[in-house]
Amino acid sequence: MELDQVLSRLGAGPVDAVVAVVSAIAIYAGVIVATRIVGLRSFSKMSAFDFAMTVAIGSVIATVGTGSIGLAQGLIAIATLYGGQFSVAWLRQRSALRGLVDNRPRLLMDGTTVLHDQLRTARIADADLRGKLREAGVLQLDNVRAVVLETTGNVSVLAGGELDPALLDGVVGAEHVAQ
């Protein structure tokens, strides 16, 4: 069976196949170039905005790949998304916009004391918290100084020696920590 017959059975002609290949390569190159310009933060797990950026880029890639929009429109959309992400990241460093875009970190444990009100607010179950303690290699609860739900959704377990209060600056519930 010839290639054009195979493509025809798959619902695409030779021209469609070439357009799909060229579009995929171009959109892939466009994402790499934009990521190199703006930085890896574009795909990091830093905030809700960064997550939305990652999903939006994936959507544009899929839309171009299926031929729903043209290559030029896809590249313009990607450039616009990266430009917006760069602008918001820049503004977050300089203004009150940070509070609109980012979640605030939240204290889940003060030493061995589980802050159940914070767990409820964060919608985290006790079992999930214990799992995070195990992942962090905690063998004795007495070693835990604090557990923080970070803006990224990651859980940081601070264990060991004396806790520097500066590590809890800006953390919701840090007023619970005994100094």
Q: How far apart are CA 122 and CA 117, in angstroms?
A: 9
Mean pLDDT of 120-125: 89
Confidence of residue 145 (pLDDT cuts 50, 70, 90): very high
Determine how β-strand 106-110 pairs with β-strand 155-159. unpaired
What pTM did the predictor assign? 0.61
Q: Which amino acid is at 56?
A: A
Q: Looking at the predicted structure, is the pLDDT value of residue 26 above 70?
A: yes
Mean pLDDT of 27-47: 69
* Cβ–Cβ < 8 Å for 173, 107: yes
Of the candidates 124, 121, 108, 128, the one whose C-alpha atom is nearest the C-alpha of residue 177 is 108
